[in-house]
Amino acid sequence: MTNFLLAGGGTAGHVNPLLALAAAIKQDSPSSKVWALGTAEGLEAKLVPAAGVELITIERLPFPRKISGYALSFPLRFLRAIRSVENFIKANQIDVIVGFGGYASAPAYLAAKRCGVAIVVHEANALPGWANKLGAKSAEAVGVAFKSTPLPNASFVGMPLRESIEAVADYADRESARLHFGLDPDTVTLLVTGGSLGAKRINDTIVQSRKVLSAAGIQVLHIVGGRSDLEEIHEKDYVRIAYCDRMDLAIAASSFAVSRAGASTVSEFAAVGLPAVYVPYPVGNGEQRFNVADIEAAGGGLVVADADFDAAFVATQLVPLISSSKALADMSKKARQNGVADGAARLLALVKSVL
């Protein structure tokens, strides 16, 4: 029996691979114990307990970037978080800590080092975060989702995927998936998504392009996200919804996709062989552009800048591409060849190698 502490959270990009590994551990070794370490504010507060994993929380402590009262109190609060994790490690005889990045990971890495507990880091993004850069320095093993991720001594394991997505990679019942959303089972289908919060540029462009897509015989499953003010629509060749709690079916239903380039999205699409046009999020450190570099080089996806994704692009480039069955089949094959459908099993094998 092995005791695992999985640290990470904040965003779905950290939480989903954590939960995928937890599920793989339980399937591989039912007698092993698994805890998750996160914060009360991140998505893990909802998703981890819902998955049947016990969540241990510490204070959410963003690294201070300017002098303030918070910056002055940060060192003591950060040390308190480390000691809290240390106490948990000792009380529960933790054998290994697997970190996925996010606010909980850095205290976990430092506590593990002080306790002499093995550390494994998984970095989901092609551009690693500061917590995982810190953890990688003392880790026994480092797994990455993208081959181009610049972390020393890293092993390419891919992204640990949800079991439902792994199932689609094994077999996709496209007709049933389309019927689930009220779409025609025999019509080429475009999936459009900007993530849980949506993407205004993508949403607006697709709305403007509805007639062009319809005229080309392309039906659309449009997931607009929670911040959009677009109402839901269920029409013959256009279904627009705010949220989708069955992304496995949305992916299975689709011939092609337009999406942001979050690490999980890129990994899921590649694993099942879904070709896509990726529109990286234009704000921040540009990590989404790096996430899609490998799949773009392999020919399984195209990248267009946010400012360039407009109705003209849809009409002159996207529609002809989706309308070519040969091009779709070629891109799908190349996407799948570049994807990893068993990332959870690969990461578990890496973790077990250090025990």
Residue 316 has pLDDT above 90, yes or no: yes
Q: What is the mean pLDDT of residues 193-206?
A: 86
Which tens digits make up the pLDDT trace of 220-275?
A: 999 998 777 889 999 999 999 998 989 999 999 999 999 999 999 999 999 999 99
Q: Give the pLDDT confidence of 7-31 residue by residue, as tens digits.
A: 998 888 889 999 999 999 999 999 9
CA distances from 300 to 98, 112, 156, 188, 286 (A): 31, 39, 19, 18, 20
Identify whether the C-beta of residue 190 lies closer than 8 Å to the C-beta of residue 47. Answer: no
326 and 349 belong to one structural domain: no
Residues 137 and 262 in one domain: no
Predicted confidence (pLDDT) at residue 197 exceeds the cutoff of 70: no
Same domain, 136 and 180: no
In sequence order, the 6+-apart residues with CB closer than 8 A to the CB of 179 are 185
* Short-list 176, 198, 330, 334, CA closest to 253: 176
Burial of 354 (0-12, 13-18, 19+ CB in 10 A): middle
Please indicate, yes or no, whether residues 229 and 82 belong to a single structural domain of this protein: no
So what's the pLDDT on residue 126? 94
Q: Which of 355, 349, 324, 346 has the alpha carbon at shortest distance from 140?
A: 355
> What is the percentage of the chain residues whose pLDDT exceeds 90?
85
Average pLDDT over residues 114-122: 98
Residues pairing with 191 in the sheet: 221, 257
- Domain of 110 in residue numbering reads as 3-159+341-353
Q: What average pLDDT does this structure show over 112-138?
A: 96
Contact present, 135 and 109 (Cβ < 8 Å): yes
Is 230 found in the same domain as 91? no
What average pLDDT does range 176-193 have in this prediction? 97
Q: Is the pLDDT of residue 5 over 70?
A: yes
Tell me the three state secondary structure of residue 98: strand
Residue 65 has pLDDT above 90, yes or no: no
Nearest Cα neighbor of 92 from 111, 120, 105 is 111
**Angle (nearest 5°) at CA 126 between 122 and 132:** 40
Judgement on whether residues 261 and 148 belong to the same structural domain of the protein: no
* 5 contacts 19 by C-beta, under 8 angstroms: no
**pLDDT at 171 > cutoff 80:** yes
Q: Do 106 and 87 reside in the same domain of the chain?
A: yes
Q: What is the DSSP letter of 147?
A: T
Query: 198: pLDDT confidence band, cut at 50, 70 and 90?
Result: low
Q: Do residues 231 and 312 share a domain?
A: yes
Bigger pLDDT: 152 vs 217: 217
Domain shared by 153 and 203, yes or no: no
What is the rounded average pLDDT for all residues in the chain? 94
Same domain, 169 and 79: no
pLDDT at 70 over 90: no
Specify the pLDDT at position 81: 95
When divided into structural domains, the chain yields a total of 2
What's 12's domain CATH number? 3.40.50.2000
pLDDT, residue 119, reads: 98
- The verdict on 135 and 282 lying in the same domain is no
Residues in contact with 105: Cβ distance below 8 Å, sequence separation at least 6, in sequence order: 7, 8, 99, 131, 132, 135
Condensed to tens digits (0 to 9), the pLDDT of residues 329-343 reads 999 999 999 999 999
Q: What is the pTM of this model?
A: 0.92
Q: Would you say residue 196 has pLDDT above 70? A: no
Examine the domain organization and report whether 90 and 204 are in the same domain: no
Please determine, for residue 66, whether its predicted confidence score (pLDDT) is greater than 90. no
Position 99: which residue type?
A: G
The candidate with the shortest Cα–Cα distance to 98, out of 60, 54, 129, 142, is 142
Distance, CA of 267 to CA of 293 (rounded, Å): 12
